[in-house]
Amino acid sequence: MEHAVVIAGGGPTGLMLAGELALAAVDVAIVERRDSQDLAGSRAGGLHARTIEVLDQRGIADRFLSEGKVARVAGFAGVPLDISDFPTRHPYGLGLWQNHIERILADWVGELEVPIHRGREVTGFVQDDTGVDVELSDGRSLRPAFLVGCDGGRSVVRKAAGIEFPGWDPTTSSLIAEAEMADEPELGIRHDAVGTHAFGREEYEIRDGEVVFSDHGPVRVMVTEEHVGPTTEPTLRDLSEALIAVYGTDYGIHDPTWISRFTDMSRQAAAYRDRRVLLAGDAAHVHYPVGGQGLNIGVQDAVNLGWKLAQVVKQTSPQSLLDTYHAERHPVAARVLRNTMAQVALGRPDDRTKAAGEVVSEFLSMDEPRRRFAADMSGLGIHYDLGEGHPLLGRRMPDLDLVTGDGPLRVFTLLHEARPALLNLGEPGGFDNTPWANRVQLIDATYQGAWELPALGEVTAPTAVLIRPDGYVAWVGEGTRLRLDDALTTWFGPPAAA
């Protein structure tokens, strides 16, 4: 068996998943149709607060922060949502184009020595009880134990698995491109009866919260089409005609670096797993890009799946652990589909919709709705249903400044190697995790400050928490170790034999 896991697709989701598996010492490889990591054009343009936290949990957030621009990226239907008062080290978003996000992730994956089979793609597969025969476009084949489709909205893996992709057909489409222009358009965003349009440049600065574009270089274009465009690849002529329809001129557009079409088609895989085949990122969910959520939830899919798949590969956990991937991540994407569909509806240019938008805007100016929606849009409010109990259960663990016998320690530092942690905040030596000692770190620590969660506010301080590798709380101790062994077994496999 050449690799334990093969990932189809080397975009942000596939790269993040490869990194997660490599940290767990799983033999993983990526199959990517592009000959190099270079991405024509800049595509998606930002990271939300929770994604920055996830990268911080792996000790690589600074690589992105050093290249990006801190920006307010959380918003709903054109209403910016301030998260500067949220209890996180990263109460902001990051403006950083996808080509840079991919390059930084690829460098990290390279350091972890993950092989990437470039210039080929997965064309089909057959799975059985012990593995998957994966066919590649160059005629070769691979035989991993598991195959993960991170191969985009038109996923070959999803189609070959026969997984249904129900949802809603498009009602609007836009062209997005990067090209040279003979005439200088007015940079910025415009709204009219057709929809939303914008001109900008890849190079920009943020001054006093405003985007200020460079005065040279190719122009980035987004133009809404009068009618939903075909599913074929868009051409320079399509772009020219769309610009003329809106602006009366195409500004002498020429030499495009890339042209792409996106729509508000909203679909979600009926199942994220079929036995030994799994889906993540756009292969599992597509939606209108408003709010910049797609790349972010794809990366977070990968971080939810990685450690679970690693434990199943290593046979420390049963395959049923993989069912929790669908159970936890499917509702997250379903909410994103719902909020993007609502935002498309509120963006329609007729007077009644504008009135509805004004009501929503007024509503979001109130503190409680702002916090609720901002937690949703930034990813900081994600709550996995792990049953009744303390408000921390199933939510992200805050990155607290702990004091240990070895000195100060940030919670996220514990997660750099993607290993779970049992954090004892009560009497030192009060816990014995010997049967799981080689899988779960046990840390005695103290923390003096308040425990605060985004949107929920202050919560009762626990005496202990079990933190999963993805940074979510799997068990909360409130003066007792009741049900701790159950939680350890559920998430990290049965106890090792004495």
pLDDT for res 211 = 63
**The 132-136 sheet, strands edge to edge:** 122-127, 132-136, 141-142
- The contacts of residue 207 (CB under 8 Å, 6+ apart) are none
For the chain, the average pLDDT equals 93
pLDDT for res 212 = 63
- Please state the rounded mean pLDDT for residues 196-211: 74
Rounded CA separation 484/456 (Å): 25
- Please state the rounded mean pLDDT for residues 59-72: 94
pLDDT for residue 339 is more than 80: yes
Q: What are the pLDDT digits (tens) for 436-458?
A: 999 999 999 999 999 999 999 99
438 alpha carbon, distance to own chain's centre: 29
* Confidence category of residue 218, pLDDT binned at 50, 70, 90: confident
Rounded CA separation 471/443 (Å): 15
* Confidence category of residue 206, pLDDT binned at 50, 70, 90: low
Q: Where is mean pLDDT largest: 87-96, 257-266, 479-488?
A: 87-96
Q: What are the pLDDT digits (tens) for 75-102?
A: 998 899 999 999 999 999 999 989 899 9
pLDDT for residue 196 is more than 90: no
Q: State how far the alpha carbon of 156 is from the alpha carbons of 147, 325, 339, in Å.
A: 12, 21, 27
Q: What are the pLDDT digits (tens) for 342-378?
A: 999 998 888 899 999 999 999 999 999 999 999 999 9
Rounded CA separation 279/155 (Å): 9
Q: What is the DSSP string of 196-247?
A: EEEEEES-EEEETTEEEE-SSSPEEEEEE-SSPPPSSPP-HHHHHHHHHHHH
126 is written with which tokens? 């057959």
pLDDT for res 435 = 94
Q: How many CA within 13 A on the CB side of residue 315?
A: 3
pLDDT for res 482 = 81
**430-460: buried (b, 16+ CB within 10 Å) or exposed (e) per residue?**
ebebebbeebbbbbbbebeeebebbbbeebe
